[in-house]
Amino acid sequence: MTKKLILVAATIALTFTSGAALAAKCSNNGSGFDAFKRDFAKEAKSAGIGKRGLSALASTKYSSSVISYDRKVNAGFRRAASSKSNFNKFYKKKTAGLRGPTLSRLKKYRRTFNKVEKRYGVPKEVLATIWGMETGFGRFTGKKDIITSLASLTHDCRRSGFFKPNLMAALKIVDKGWIPRSKFRGAAHGEIGQTQFMAKNYVKFGVDFDGGGRDLLRSVPDVLASTANYLRAYGWRPGQAYGPGTTNFRVLKEWNASSAYQNAIAKFASTL
């Protein structure tokens, strides 16, 4: 083998070796979590995450309760979509007592809804439904440490590929100081704010709609505009229907992969 070929082969080997060294391994339990964090920290550092973000990752501990919740809620969504009667039970539970508060929010924030709908083309009824169904209009955003949840779910093998970019984005959010670590709390899957944005979507689609800085925790204009911006980015068609079989209904799948959840949003919004 010539010296040139030897050099090329060595370079290729080094590339694969380096990539393997940076690949954080998943597991179906808490074993190896510390090693996972060390490997993921290398990837994060290579991606530009600084001291504050790396420190947040290092301080996490594996959460078995988050993994248990993931298994439970996944089974619940599958059950809700398995039959008409199960969907009806799911729908009744998700929308119980929701109509009055939703109509109240539509009236209270009428100007904001109208501005958002004009800008992004997403009906106020859909936005209000998502807002209410996700967190009861910001009352129940979750108390879990988001970095801990996402680190545990990325370490877990079931959907590691889905949660990995969200963990990286969450580290970026903390590292940049966009949300203080002490206030970086959310739902068990790492959802953030009043309409439960995943971290990568917070970074990509979050909107400052009131001029006070992007804030999906407390700013209603930012919450509604960011949600509409997300749906528009995935192909929402202004002025068109959003029931089953439509393009806009398929966009709702990008919001939540559960067909039961998509149907619940479309059905309830249509009653408003």
Model confidence, pTM: 0.86
Looking at residue 23, what is its pLDDT? 60
107, 242: one domain: yes
Q: Which amino acid is at 195?
A: T
Looking at residue 24, what is its pLDDT? 67
Looking at residue 79, what is its pLDDT? 85
Tell me whether residue 74 is in a domain: yes
Q: Give residue 150's pLDDT band: very low, low, confident or very high (50, 70, 90).
A: very high
User: Is 23 in a helix, a strand, or coil?
Assistant: coil
What does the block give as tokens for 61? 């501990």
Looking at the structure of the chain, the number of domains it has is 2
112, 218: one domain: yes
Burial grade of 217 (CB within 10 A; 0-12, 13-18, 19 or more) = middle
124 lies in which domain range? 97-141+193-270
48, 148: one domain: yes
115, 48: one domain: no
User: Final residue of a domain: which of 124, 156, 191?
Assistant: 191
Looking at residue 12, what is its pLDDT? 40
Q: Quote the distance between the C-alpha of residue 86 and its chain's center.
A: 25
Mean pLDDT computed over every residue of the chain? 90
Q: Which of 21-30, 66-75, 89-98, 101-110 has the lowest mean pLDDT?
A: 21-30
Tell me whether residue 209 is in a domain: yes
The predicted-structure confidence for 200-255, as pLDDT tens digits, reads as follows 999 999 999 999 999 999 999 999 999 999 999 999 999 999 999 999 999 999 99
Q: Give residue 106's pLDDT band: very low, low, confident or very high (50, 70, 90).
A: very high
CATH of the domain at 61: 1.10.8
| Residue among 66, 55, 63, 60 nearest 174 (CA) | 55
Tell me whether residue 11 is in a domain: no
136, 210: one domain: yes
Tell me whether residue 128 is in a domain: yes
CATH of the domain at 134: 1.10.530.10
pLDDT over threshold 50, residue 19? no
170, 266: one domain: no
> Distances in Å between the alpha carbon of 272 and those of 85, 129, 156?
23, 9, 40
